[in-house]
């Protein structure tokens, strides 16, 4: 076996109701100016006010983070952190809120503008200390060194990856996802599923990511359909929160793969939420790579899906069945107005220099054009 290294400095506090015991787990009294960055739903539900009341010196932001924040929004929140002399930042919300929090915590201490980090990010100094509290069970951003941001000018998504973006604490309370609207419960659960799946099927696997991803997949296969049927099912909610965490830990070392890279290329043109877009792309990518996945990966996946040992086609059929049960579309609908040029989609995919290391099959431009052709459905 090849050697490996593993690093994750985030202290994880996990459990139902753990938010109420935040001051027990985190020495908030050590900080003078605690800033809270949160999404609209946390503002509306009162959770933001509840969290803001926990530390003595918390300056709640007056505005919630917009639904699809851009690099300009990151700059605006950075300014607030600077003006309030924040020495600890709490990010409360879904993936985009947590990613914005990480970036703003870095910029407020080190200066610069968010948009200037695309395409050559320079995150090489510590950010302010960060606590992340997810209100979805999806992205796993609460334990990763990644931040994904929409560039305000180009409209493109870009990813920054730096050990300085690991939060100090991740506080995961599965009860926070109870009021998540159905569409987001599905999309975020599917994002966690794809994180675990891509980490597990990587051509450059990581032994610790393997354990996390396999367990994450098992939890999601069993509990996502249950959570969709009954949002009050606390057992299913807890399992999904754990699976999202496992997915975040797994992609930190095994990274995401072709599904996410295609998804990032299409994001600008599609209205589907990130997780649903990923899930729609998934069977096309699995079909493309099917003969090339390592035998032990297919056998393990088959075991989770209860299909005959090593039967690759049966694994693909079972994945289709799982996604059909959750009413995931088979193709990504795009309107004629937003007709993307295939060459520019391919160029975007080629910007992912690490992709050939993790995808089990070499990918030609022709393959990519075929894949996009199968994935996209143009509408009037």
Binding site for Fe ion (CB under 5 A): 191
In angstroms, the CA 198 to CA 164 distance is 24
β-bridge pairing 34-38 and 88-93? parallel
Q: Minimum Å distance from CB 216 to Fe ion?
A: 13
β-bridge pairing 130-134 and 157-161? unpaired
Q: Which is nearer to Fe ion, 78 or 212 (CB)?
A: 212
In angstroms, the CA 318 to CA 373 distance is 23
β-bridge pairing 34-38 and 58-60? parallel
Residue 87, classed as helix, strand or coil, is coil
Q: Which is nearer to Fe ion, 73 or 191 (CB)?
A: 191
How far CA 348 is from CA of 85, 90, 156, 194, 344, in Å, comes to: 38, 33, 10, 20, 6
In eight-state DSSP terms, residue 143 is G
Q: Which is nearer to Fe ion, 36 or 217 (CB)?
A: 217
Q: Which is nearer to Fe ion, 108 or 263 (CB)?
A: 263
In angstroms, the CA 284 to CA 290 distance is 10
Q: Minimum Å distance from CB 295 to Fe ion?
A: 27
Q: What are phi and psi of 93, to 5 degrees?
A: 160, -160
- Identify any residues that bridge with 11 across adjacent strands, giving them in sequence order: 169
Q: Minimum Å distance from CB 279 to Fe ion?
A: 10
Q: Which is nearer to Fe ion, 92 or 277 (CB)?
A: 277
Q: Minimum Å distance from CB 275 to Fe ion?
A: 7
How many CB atoms within 10 Å of residue 365?
13
Q: Minimum Å distance from CB 259 to Fe ion?
A: 9
Q: Minimum Å distance from CB 194 to Fe ion?
A: 6
Q: Which is nearer to Fe ion, 174 or 257 (CB)?
A: 257
Q: Minimum Å distance from CB 139 to Fe ion?
A: 6
Q: Which is nearer to Fe ion, 13 or 277 (CB)?
A: 277
Q: Which is nearer to Fe ion, 108 or 188 (CB)?
A: 188
Q: Which residue is nearest to Fe ion (CB)?
A: 191
Q: Minimum Å distance from CB 380 to Fe ion?
A: 30
Minimal CA–CA distance to 183: which of 99, 274, 93, 283? 274
Q: Which is nearer to Fe ion, 118 or 191 (CB)?
A: 191
How far CA 133 is from CA of 195, 219, 281, 304, in Å, comes to: 19, 21, 29, 30
In angstroms, the CA 148 to CA 47 distance is 24
Q: Minimum Å distance from CB 82 to Fe ion?
A: 30
User: Residues 281, 183, 376, CA angle at the centre, nearest 5°?
Assistant: 25
Cα dihedral across residues 271, 274, 275, 278: positive or negative = positive
Q: What are phi and psi of 334, to 5 degrees?
A: -125, 145
Residue appearing with tokens 């995401």: 256
């Amino acid at each position: 076996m090849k050697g490996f290294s593993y690093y994750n400095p985030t202290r994880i506090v996990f459990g139902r109701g753990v938010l109420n015991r935040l001051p027990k787990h985190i020495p908030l009294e050590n900080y003078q100016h605690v800033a809270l960055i949160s999404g609209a739903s946390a503002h509306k539900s009162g959770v933001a006010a509840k969290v803001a009341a926990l530390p003595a010196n918390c300056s709640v932001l007056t505005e919630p983070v917009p639904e699809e924040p851009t690099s300009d929004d990151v700059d605006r929140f950075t300014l607030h952190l600077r003006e309030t002399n924040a020495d600890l930042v709490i990010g409360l919300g879904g993936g985009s809120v947590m990613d914005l929090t990480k970036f703003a915590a870095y910029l407020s201490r080190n200066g610069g503008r968010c948009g200037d980090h695309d395409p050559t990010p320079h995150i090489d100094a510590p950010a302010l200390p960060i606590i992340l509290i997810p209100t979805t069970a999806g992205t796993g951003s609460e334990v990763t060194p990644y931040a994904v941001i929409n560039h305000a000018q180009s409209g493109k998504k870009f990813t920054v990856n730096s050990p300085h973006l690991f939060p100090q604490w991740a506080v995961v309370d599965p009860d926070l996802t109870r009021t998540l609207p159905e569409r987001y419960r599905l999309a975020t659960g599917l994002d966690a599923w794809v994180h675990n799946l891509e980490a597990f099927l990587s051509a450059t696997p990581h032994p610790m990511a393997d354990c996390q991803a396999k367990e994450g997949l098992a939890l999601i296969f069993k509990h996502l359909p249950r959570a969709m049927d009954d949002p009050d099912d606390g057992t299913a909610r807890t399992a999904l929160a754990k699976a999202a965490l496992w997915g975040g830990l797994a992609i930190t070392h095994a990274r995401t793969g072709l599904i996410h890279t295609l998804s990032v290329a299409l994001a600008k043109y599609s209205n589907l939420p990130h997780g649903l877009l990923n899930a729609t792309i998934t069977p096309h990518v699995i079909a493309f790579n099917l003969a090339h996945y390592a035998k032990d990966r297919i056998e393990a996946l088959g075991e989770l899906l209860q299909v005959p040992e090593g039967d690759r086609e049966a694994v693909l059929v079972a994945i289709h069945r799982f996604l059909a049960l959750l009413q995931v579309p088979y193709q990504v609908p795009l309107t004629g107005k937003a007709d993307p040029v295939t060459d520019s989609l391919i160029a975007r995919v080629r910007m992912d220099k690490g992709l050939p290391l993790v995808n089990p099959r070499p990918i030609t431009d022709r393959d990519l054009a075929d894949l996009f052709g199968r994935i996209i459905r143009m509408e009037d």
